Structure 1
């Protein structure tokens, strides 16, 4: 009996000890809350950029530019294709009538014109961009350059009625047109390469364009003569952030689509003009540089201009001034009477 009593006491003691031990509770895992950091919406990065506009592209921009002589006689307005030009050079051709060199690379208009005759200084501008030059007719100096293959070119004097077509709605010499398709067809016939893109201009980033400073330039008038036949007016549309162009009191629009010409940069340069014949043709110095105005985002600033390997660029303190991304119009006015007499700002 004693043995049983001892055994029972031992068991009781064992259970007593176990009951005193603290029962370990299962470890509770803390719930990990992931913090989501909201990233600012990133602007898309483009692998390619068009050299004459600075606008980004998802596909290769390696393609040759095309420079077309476009008529600006009042009987030639409105023109076709100007709304898709990357850059337009407006220079006096004869008398007090200007002519346009419209350069296309980022966009391809279906129809371009009226196409007009060549001048040597326009040819030099096209060569500076390594562009295929398209014209209908020529001055004596231009004829020698084109027939001597100074630049790759297609001329309506050779292809009138084939690559170039006459519009029945207008009278010659204001009725010659060429399609972009026919320009490429002509380049193929003459074995011209259309692959190499033109040299690039310098452009501001989208952020930097917001910081442009200068004098107010919501309205800019450019005069070429007292007669005013080629005078142009640029009006800034703050909602669009672009300039609208007017000529002869009418807005510059595309003949076929009625879409307006909208510009991001206006560069007005002063160049020496010398009349060389009785018709009023000129020798114009577009190489020596000089004074200019650069107009962007409703502001204007005084600049110098320089010819860099055939490209006319704005300069300040010895450095190239960047363009705003988009389309550019370059007006070359005679050094006599000069910029101050030819250009006026904020006209109402």
Structure 2
């Protein structure tokens, strides 16, 4: 297994104007003419077919509005996207596994927390399940992760300062410790404190007037790293270490065109019994600070080294984020935009003190 190159990391607090908005978004061709989403301005949720023809189409029904899920880049029903995203703090303690509905999410962020463990911040939009969990407490880096999405954030509580940071964002906060409306419940078949479950459908429904999330990453074809200019390396296995305890890995399944996840050397399963999988795995090397004692703070405003792994290839580049409310921008080594394939994405926030390795 070839180890990744020695990581580099530097702060970039100045504006990334030109780069931060330079997201072209070529999408799946579902009609004769192609559509291009550009993030030079806010990307609209609905991408409509050409103007309604004067004669009936197909069975005589009206033309169908076509939209693309902003967090997946996949075709979707336009009406089904007119609601906010739901971000939820999900437990990844061994006692919390298997989690609910990870494969139905659009984007999962994995971050280091105290004790060398990791925790997830999971975002659902294109496919909101009935229930998600186990829900756990907020951490200080979560406002920087979730602010670009807007919408709703759900968590079980947390240190008062961390909760105040999250409530200072534009998101609607749903907090288990403060809820008396029945959005959360404790599952009888799970051990505490890994037993808090959220009614995700109801959480979104109560906030349906909020706008959908903006596009976060640029999407390309099903094999967006095929260009020789990207120098993408053939990859079948990713090995990630956030700390000295525990390991994370992904193996590419060519038949499914998906990355299959393992934890601590065992296949990672969700509550449905399905293997946890991703179309895209985005690995970011991040700095970690310790201003809160044993609770680590992942530094996300700045820039660092990045890899995008999709369709059995991995391309190297950089990530940048110029403000808490700005999205993460992925740039290839040749200066072009690093694009993802349409589908779900895992973002691995691996500390500089951890390790990243890829095998062909």
Q: TM-score range by the shorter chain?
A: 0.7 to 0.9
In the other structure, the counterpart of 2:217 is 201
Q: CA deviation at 1:327?
A: 0.8
In the other structure, the counterpart of 1:20 is none
In the other structure, the counterpart of 2:353 is 336
Contact 1:264–1:327 under 8 Å retained in 2: yes
State the alpha-carbon separation in 2 of the partners of residues 345 and 209 from structure 1: 16
2:82 aligned with 1:82, yes or no?
no
Contact 1:114–1:174 under 8 Å retained in 2: yes
Report the secondary structure of 1:270's partner residue: strand
State the alpha-carbon separation in 2 of the partners of residues 149 and 300 from structure 1: 34
Q: Deviations over 1:276-313 (max 9, x none)?
A: 344x2012210101111111111112110011653223
TM-score normalised by the chain length of structure 1 = 0.78
State the alpha-carbon separation in 2 of the partners of residues 207 and 118 from structure 1: 35
Gapped regions of structure 2 (runs ≥ 5):
1-27, 32-48, 50-65
Q: Larger radius of gyration, structure 1 or 2? A: 1
| Selected match of 1:303 from 292, 311, 317 | 317
TM-score normalised by the chain length of structure 2 = 0.75
In the other structure, the counterpart of 2:301 is 287
| Selected match of 1:159 from 179, 186, 189 | 179
The alignment covers a number of residue pairs equal to 294
Contact 2:258–2:311 under 8 Å retained in 1: yes
Report the secondary structure of 1:344's partner residue: strand
In the other structure, the counterpart of 2:43 is none
2:260 aligned with 1:274, yes or no?
no
Q: CA deviation at 1:275?
A: 2.1
State the alpha-carbon separation in 2 of the partners of residues 210 and 179 from structure 1: 41
| Selected match of 2:276 from 233, 243, 261 | 261
State the alpha-carbon separation in 1 of the partners of residues 131 and 221 from structure 2: 32
**Aligned-pair RMSD on alpha carbons?**
2.4
Contact 2:142–2:166 under 8 Å retained in 1: no
Gapped regions of structure 1 (runs ≥ 5):
1-41
In the other structure, the counterpart of 2:69 is 50
Query: 1:305–1:146: structure 2 CA closer, same or farther, 3 Å change rule?
Result: closer
Contact 2:238–2:359 under 8 Å retained in 1: yes
Query: 1:149–1:266: structure 2 CA closer, same or farther, 3 Å change rule?
Result: closer
Q: CA deviation at 1:210?
A: 5.6
Q: CA deviation at 1:94?
A: 1.4
Report the secondary structure of 1:276's partner residue: strand
Answer 1 or 2: higher relative contact order, Cα 8 Å, separation at least 6: 2
